[in-house]
Amino acid sequence: MSPLRSDLFRTHLAADPANPLFRFSLGQELLKEGAPAEAAEHLRQAAAAKADWMMPRVLLGRALAAVGDGPGARAAWTEALALAVAQGHEEPEAELRALLAGR
């Protein structure tokens, strides 16, 4: 069995705990691996590290939705939508509008 990709990012994060990109990457991999609760913690910290970073908020919403925190997911997606609009990211904007509309 090959090692999980999240293990690679755990190693990177251990070496540089303040690096928001490592934290985001770990959260992203944990979400892919089916660990949304753990992913949410890392994605929340990545989002907090950079006020204008949309993607951690998108994935945080997905992680929170997966653990049944609908209000938390909506809040994360609402923040992400505001950033998508402000930054001119049309595809993420459309995706976020659909998520917030429940489609």
Could you read off the pLDDT of 68-96 as tens digits, one per residue?
Answer: 999 999 999 999 999 999 999 999 999 99
Total residue length of the chain: 103
Whether the CA torsion 35, 36, 40, 46 is positive or negative: it is positive
> Mean pLDDT across the stretch 11-23?
94
Give the separation between CA 30 and CA 36, rounded to whole angstroms. Answer: 7
33 pLDDT above the threshold of 70: yes
Residue 84 makes CB contacts below 8 A (sequence gap 6+) with 54, 90, 92, 93, 96
Give the separation between CA 102 and CA 50, rounded to whole angstroms. Answer: 27
pLDDT band for position 1 (50/70/90)? Answer: low
CA end-to-end span of the chain:
37
Ranges of each domain in the chain: 5-101
- At the topology level, CATH places domain 5-101 in 1.25.40
